[in-house]
């Protein structure tokens, strides 16, 4: 699974790089606009290590933000399923709020919380929270009648049992949504760092942009791709292991 | 323990026509009874009225001495996180463990209870589902095509055993099988479309029991009565 994702990423990265170099040599662009392969390799040697650490820093914040948003989405969805109108209200609110581009809200967060970890974490959590919430509300408010009927009619149904039934029956859907939102958490963190933070790969890209150093950006993109692939594969592995365990025997 | 419905009329919200129009029925007491009729005539709707899941209808349902009504249908599933036996043990009252084993044996499930529900055949799933309802405290159990996927021989065995184990309980068996309801049921309530009057006709079944001789002439008459009524 891991090698497939990394392999896919490397193909896309190589195609992108190839097109860029084709553009450079096709249009006779200077090294200042698009760096030469030798310069890219040199930049990779110099900045590969620090940028890898920056990506790990970003990944750590993205994972924390992702976990935070999963917990919060679960909590709100489980609460929202209690009454039809609360669920409907949360769903409508989530649809409306997620329509705001996070880039537009991010400056407000930075103004209020500063450019530290809190802001990065909050933006990472926010960007993947609403899609997660909408899916979770859908899962937890949809009755599994053919299973729940027995517990309802014999008076055994509790909210814990109801949540357990619905989560179990939709485990594949939940896993897919969580894996899908992981990329968004990574994107959210990078966007946050790019806007105003003082750490992480987004911050490094901002500096590289100010220096008009495309080679640095290419190195950063390489590590972002590798880091995101690792995270997605880890989530898929956990999801598959969980599903296998639940459905075994 | 008579169960009686008087002048029941009902229309689903936003539906153009009535499901029931001045419907009357009476089940005289405990035993294995049937609710029979073509698809879409309102058998499940009537069952849901008896359980209290559908309210807001005209007329009344009098359930004398019936405290607890349970409704089960053939599409129900057991949760997949544990095997069938673990599920039974979880929902069976402590005093009902012996009965649980007896039902598992009679229903031909002994070899399958250690499997998870989704691994069972449809017929086995039907049986597992019915067992858990029979382990509950009930006065009236409505079985909506609960044995639809079970083979005829096992079905007969199950129904006869239910009659032996639960002589003081009331069962309402919803089925499309004329021969089956005519043979095993005591009263057969034949439900017809609202355009026909009366909408429900009661026929007498053979109420066949274990060890009793089958009277093919009587069975034939009962089947004819039901078919004519439908």
- A147 contact residues in B (CB cutoff 8 A): 76-79
Q: Among A113-127, B119-133, B166-180, which stretch is predicted with the lowest mean pLDDT? A: A113-127
H or E segment and range at residue B33: strand B31-36
CA dist B230 → B38, B203, B207, B219 (Å): 8, 10, 19, 16
Closest by alpha carbon to B150, among B112, B197, B102? B112
Subunit contact A146:B70, Cβ cutoff 8 A: no
Is residue A178 within 8 A of residue A70, CB to CB? The reply is yes
Which class for B140: exposed (0-12), middle (13-18), buried (19 or more C-beta within 10 A)? buried
Residue A24 belongs to some domain of the structure? no
Residue A2: pLDDT over 70: no
Query: Is B113 in contact with B45 (CB distance < 8 Å)?
Result: no
What is the C-alpha separation between A217 and A240, in angstroms, rounded?
34
Both tokens of A237, joined, read 């592995």
Q: With beta carbons less than 8 A apart as the criterion, state whether B1 and B139 touch.
A: yes
Q: Is residue A60 part of a domain?
A: yes
Nearest to A1 by CA among A213, A244, A193, A231: A231
Q: What is the mean pLDDT of residues A51-76?
A: 90
Which chain A residues are closer than 8 Å to B133 by Cβ? 150
B147: Cα within 13 Å, side-chain hemisphere: 21
Q: Per CATH, which fold does B3-76+138-229 belong to?
A: Rossmann fold (3.40.50)
Query: Cα-atom radius of gyration of chain A, to the nearest Å?
Result: 22
User: What DSSP state is assigned to residue B145?
Assistant: S
- The per-residue pLDDT of chain A, averaged, comes to 85
Of residues A103, A63, A5, A8, the one with CA closest to residue A186:
A63
- Contact between B45 and B19 (Cβ < 8 Å): yes
- Flag whether A8 is in a domain: no
Record: contact A150-B72, CB cut-off 8 A: yes
CATH of the domain at A156: 1.10.3720.10
pLDDT digits (tens, 9 = 90+) for B202-221: 888 888 888 777 778 888 88
Nearest residue on chain B to A166, judged by CA atoms? B79
Q: How close is the nearest chain A Cα to the Cα of B192, in Å?
A: 27
User: Count of domains in chain A?
Assistant: 1
Q: Which residues of chain B are at the A interface, by a Cβ-Cβ cutoff of 8 Å?
A: 51, 70-73, 75-81, 83, 91, 115-116, 118, 129, 132-133, 136
Query: Tokens 């992981």 appear where?
Result: A182
- Based on its alpha-carbon atoms, the radius of gyration of chain B, rounded to whole angstroms, reads 18
Query: A238 vs chain B: nearest CA distance in angstroms?
Result: 18
Judged against a pLDDT cut of 60, whether residue B46 lies above it is answered with yes
Q: Do A249 and B116 touch (CB under 8 A)?
A: yes
Greater pLDDT, A120 or A85: A120
The contacts of residue B45 (CB under 8 Å, 6+ apart) are B10, B12, B19, B20, B54
**3-class DSSP assignment, residue B41:** coil
Looking at residue B97, its pLDDT comes to 86
Nearest CA in chain A to B133: A150
Which residue range is the domain that position A107 belongs to?
35-247
Question: What ipTM, to 2 d.p.?
Answer: 0.90
Contact B78 A249 (CB under 8 A): no
CB spacing of A249 vs B72 below 8 angstroms: no
Helix A117-141, helix A171-195: angle, nearest 10: 160
In the predicted structure, residue A249 carries a pLDDT above the cut 50: no
Q: Tell me the mean pLDDT in the region A65-79.
A: 87
Flag whether A171 is in a domain: yes
Residue A18 in domain: no
Residue A11 lies inside a defined structural domain of this protein: no
> How do residues A188-212 score in pLDDT, each as one tens digit?
888 888 887 788 898 999 999 998 8
What whole-number distance in Å separates Cα of residue A235 and Cα of residue A181? 11
Which pLDDT belongs to residue A172? 86
* Three-state secondary structure of A118-183: HHHHHHHHHHHHHHHHHHHHHHHHCCCHHHHHHHHHCCCCCHHHHHHHHHHHCHHHHHHHHHHHHH
DSSP at B118: G
Q: Which residue of B has its CA nearest to A243?
A: B81
Nearest Cβ partner of B80 from A149, A153, A247?
Answer: A247
For B155-204, give the DSSP string: HHHHHHHHHHH-TTSEEEEEES-HHHHHHH-SEEEEE--TTSSSSEEEEE
Q: Which of A146, A156, A169 sits opposite B91 (nearest CB)?
A: A156
Question: What contacts A57, CB < 8 A, 6 or more positions away?
Answer: A199, A200, A201
Is the per-residue pLDDT at A98 higher than 70? no
In this structure, the dihedral spanned by the alpha carbons of residues A116, A122, A125 and A128, taken in order and rounded to 10 degrees, is: -110
Tell me whether residues B81 and A153 touch, CB distance under 8 A: no
Kindly report, residue by residue over B48-99, the tens digit of the pLDDT: 999 988 988 898 888 888 889 999 999 999 998 889 999 999 998 888 888 8
Among A149, A168, A249, select the one facing B83 at the smallest CB separation.
Answer: A249
Which chain A residue has its CA at the smallest distance from B141's CA?
A153
Look at residue A167 and tell me if it is in a domain. Answer: yes
Contacts with B, A 135-154, CB within 8 Å:
146-147, 149-150, 153-154
Yes or no, beta carbons of A156 and B132 under 8 Å apart: no
In the three-class reduction of DSSP (H, G, I as helix; E, B as strand; rest coil), residue B140 is classed as strand
B91–A168 CB contact, under 8 Å: no
Find chain A residues with C-beta within 8 A of B118's C-beta: 247
Residue A163 within a domain: yes
Between chains, do A149 and B76 touch, taking CB under 8 Å as contact? yes
């Amino acid at each position: 699974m891991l090698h497939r994702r990394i392999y896919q990423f490397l193909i896309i990265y190589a195609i992108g790089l190839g097109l860029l170099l084709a553009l450079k040599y096709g249009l006779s662009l200077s090294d200042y606009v698009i760096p030469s392969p030798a310069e890219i390799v040199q930049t990779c040697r110099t900045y590969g290590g620090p940028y890898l650490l920056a990506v790990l820093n970003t990944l750590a914040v993205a994972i924390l933000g992702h976990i935070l948003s999963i917990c919060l989405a679960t909590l709100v969805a489980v609460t929202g399923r209690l009454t039809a109108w609360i669920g409907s209200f949360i769903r409508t609110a989530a649809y409306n709020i997620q329509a705001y581009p996070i880039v537009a809200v991010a400056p407000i967060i930075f103004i209020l919380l500063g450019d530290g970890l809190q802001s990065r974490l909050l933006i990472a959590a926010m960007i993947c929270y609403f899609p997660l919430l909408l899916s979770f509300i859908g899962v937890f408010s949809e009755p599994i009648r053919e299973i729940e009927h027995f517990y309802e009619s014999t008076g055994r149904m509790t909210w814990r049992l109801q949540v357990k039934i619905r989560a179990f029956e939709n485990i594949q859907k939940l896993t897919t949504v969580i894996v899908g939102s992981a990329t968004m958490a990574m994107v959210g963190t990078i966007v946050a760092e790019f806007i105003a933070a003082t750490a992480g790969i987004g911050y490094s890209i901002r500096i590289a942009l100010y220096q008009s150093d495309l080679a640095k950006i290419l190195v950063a993109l390489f590590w972002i791709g590798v880091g995101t692939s690792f995270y997605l594969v880890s989530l898929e592995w956990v999801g598959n292991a969980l599903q296998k365990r639940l459905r075994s025997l | 323990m008579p169960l009686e419905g008087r002048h029941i009329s009902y229309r689903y919200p936003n539906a153009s026509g009535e499901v029931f129009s001045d419907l009357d029925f009476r089940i005289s007491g405990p035993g294995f009874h049937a609710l029979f009729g073509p698809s879409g005539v309102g058998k499940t709707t009537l069952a849901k009225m008896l359980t209290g899941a559908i309210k807001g209808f005209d007329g009344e349902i009098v359930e004398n001495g019936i405290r607890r009504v349970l409704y089960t249908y053939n599409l129900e599933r057991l949760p997949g996180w544990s095997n069938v036996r673990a599920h039974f043990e979880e929902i069976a009252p402590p005093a009902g463990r012996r009965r649980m084993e007896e039902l598992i044996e009679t229903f031909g499930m002994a070899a399958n209870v250690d499997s998870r529900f989704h691994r069972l055949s449809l017929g086995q799933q039907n049986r597992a589902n019915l067992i858990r309802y029979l382990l509950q405290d009930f006065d009236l159990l409505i079985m909506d095509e609960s044995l639809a996927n079970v083979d005829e021989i096992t079905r007969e065995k199950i129904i006869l055993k239910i009659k032996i184990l639960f002589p003081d309980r009331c069962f309402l068996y919803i089925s499309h099988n004329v021969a089956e309801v005519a043979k095993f049921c005591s009263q057969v309530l034949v439900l017809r479309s609202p355009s026909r009057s009366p909408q429900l006709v009661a026929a007498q079944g053979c109420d066949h029991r274990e060890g009793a001789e089958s009277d093919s002439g009587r069975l034939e008459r009962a089947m004819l009565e039901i078919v004519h009524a439908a």
